[in-house]
Amino acid sequence: MRMTTKLAALLATALLLITACAQLTTDGEQPSETPLPDAREIRVEAFQFGFEPATIEVTQGERIRLVLATRDVPHGLAIPEFGVNLATGEGREDSAEFVADKKGEFSFYCSIPCGSGHGKMRGTLVVR
Ligand SMILES: [Cu+2]
């Protein structure tokens, strides 16, 4: 009886070890299923007078890294609801990260006076 108990304990330990090893191997071979901490990068180009793309679509909860570049003169890109206010100039990009935690349509606009069409520089961030 004692021997049987010991044997059973030994077998259980061996089984546990094998299972643990198998899990370790699996973890090493397969990419993790958990979401990556990295933000999704979205690039926007500003120009006189607009944004390309003018509509940005994201999913609620996504972490976004917004990168702004300009094709001509200095421009800005502001999305007040997400605390974003980028400023870009010739040869210089600007970026900001935010979590799209609110659903809806949010307009963004140029925050740097850039000419006669400055007031028309608008776009839409759609969070689904
Ligand atoms: Cu402007």
pLDDT in tens, the chain (128 residues): 566 666 566 556 555 555 554 555 444 444 545 545 689 999 999 999 999 999 999 999 999 999 999 999 999 999 999 999 999 998 899 999 999 999 999 999 999 999 999 999 999 999 99
Distance (angstroms) between ligand 1 centre and the Cα of 113 equals: 4
Structural domain containing residue 86: 40-127
Same structural domain for residues 51 and 110? yes
pLDDT of residue 2: 60
Give the integer Cα–Cα distance in Å for 76 and 92.
Answer: 12
Total structural domains within the chain: 2
Query: Both 6 and 67 in a single domain?
Result: no
pTM over 0.85: no
Instruction: Output the CA 8–ligand 1 centroid distance in Å.
Output: 76
pLDDT of 1 reads: 53
Instruction: Calculate how far, in angstroms, residue 94's C-alpha sits from the geometric centre of ligand 1.
Output: 15
C-alpha 107 – ligand 1 centre gap (Å): 14
